[in-house]
Amino acid sequence: MFEATTKAEKGGGFFKMLGRIPGANILVPLLLACTINTFFPQVFALGSFTTAMTTGGTGALVGAFLVMVGTTISFESAPKAAVRGAIIIATKVVFCVALALIVQFALGDNLLGLSSMVILAACSGANNSLYAGLMGDYGTEVERGAVAVTTLVVGPPVTMIVLGAAGQAPLGWSLLGAVLPILLGIVLGNCFPSLKKTLSAGLPGIIILTFFAMGSTMTLSQIVQAGLPGILLGVICSVGGALVTVAADRATGGTGVAGAAISSCAGANVATPAAMASVCAERFGGAVLATATAQVAAAAIVTAILTPLITAYVYKRYHVEDAAEQQPTTA
């Protein structure tokens, strides 16, 4: 009995240690699924419910997740949320474009193996699911609501706009479809308080399921294939991007947490090099396409690890400082 209790306590200590990792409810399921997909990819191809909730269900889970996030946003905070989202996204895009132009015209389109196209592909889009998940842990109501704007500007909609401008895909109603879930959640949460209470309580669980599904589409080998340039790309996106977006966020009255959380690379952006190759195969096709795709894929994985850590650090640092400043001083 004593031995069994000791083992249980040791096991509990291990899970407590995992729980202390910044962004653990996002990182742990994501890396767990990524590891399974690397060594046992057939597990997620079994079909039925297993495939439906992993590789075949990422979109549905993200949609449900955004509905739940929407229920936590009140009509009063919506305008402020839109402004906050516009600020952090505009800053991220300006940083990305400026860096790409420097690489293109000042460095001969080669920054330690990274081209301007690859930098634009990775850094111009953020993982909105990751942002929403981090805001569920660290963000305010306004910061959570900012995802409605970030979804419009980065991620899949940007890819759609690029492909549409190139004549490769119709714009259609896809942009509305990307933001409709969170808009639906906002309406339901404000009109039905009991529904708001029920759905918002499910956020922690849906976060774990969503990021497990996202991890099931990734492999650790993608980092190896991309090599050091791919890892560097992820560091530039998360660390370099966060330095700029956190500064802009705090300079405009934000906490800095939203700026840190938007510094990721979306998995959907892995398709951007292929879109560029379809426009100009002579320049972006062949070996260039293969290398660029691997680098952006590596950046998506690296930022999925770094961005939660950076966000947790920013929250811990500035939350304490801001709380201290708000305390009344005694004479």
Distance between CA atoms of residues 255 and 118, nearest Å:
30
CATH of the domain at 303: 1.20.1530.20
What radius of gyration do the chain's Cα atoms show? 20
202, two tokens? 């499910």
Q: Which residues of 64-76 are buried (b: 16+ CB within 10 A; e: fewer)?
A: bbbbbbbbbbeee
- Residue 143's pLDDT is 81
- Residue 240's pLDDT is 92
Query: How remote is the C-alpha of 243 from its chain's centroid?
Result: 17
- Whether residue 9 lies inside any domain: the answer is no
- Whether residue 329 lies inside any domain: the answer is no
Query: CB within 8 A of 314, min separation 6: which ones?
Result: 242, 246, 256, 257, 259, 260
Structural domain boundaries, residue 239: 26-315
| Domains in the chain, number | 1
Q: Which residues of the chain have pLDDT under 50?
A: 1-4, 8, 155-156, 159-160, 162-163, 166, 168-170, 330-331
- Residue 155's pLDDT is 46
- Whether residue 3 lies inside any domain: the answer is no
Contact 300, 265 (CB under 8 A): yes
252, two tokens? 């405009």
- Residue 20's pLDDT is 63
- Residue 39's pLDDT is 92
- Whether residue 210 lies inside any domain: the answer is yes
- Whether residue 287 lies inside any domain: the answer is yes
H-state helical runs in the chain: 2-19, 24-39, 48-52, 58-71, 78-106, 116-123, 128-138, 141-145, 147-153, 156-165, 174-191, 193-201, 203-215, 221-235, 241-251, 257-261, 272-279, 281-284, 286-326
- Whether residue 252 lies inside any domain: the answer is yes
Distance between CA atoms of residues 64 and 146, nearest Å:
17
- Residue 2's pLDDT is 45
- Residue 122's pLDDT is 85
- Whether residue 2 lies inside any domain: the answer is no
- Taking alpha carbons only, the member of 91, 66, 38, 44 closest to residue 223 is 38
- Residue 232's pLDDT is 92
- pTM, two decimals, is 0.64
Question: CA 145, 257, 215: angle at the middle one, nearest 5?
Answer: 80
Query: How remote is the C-alpha of 224 from its chain's centroid?
Result: 21
- Residue 164's pLDDT is 52
- Whether residue 284 lies inside any domain: the answer is yes
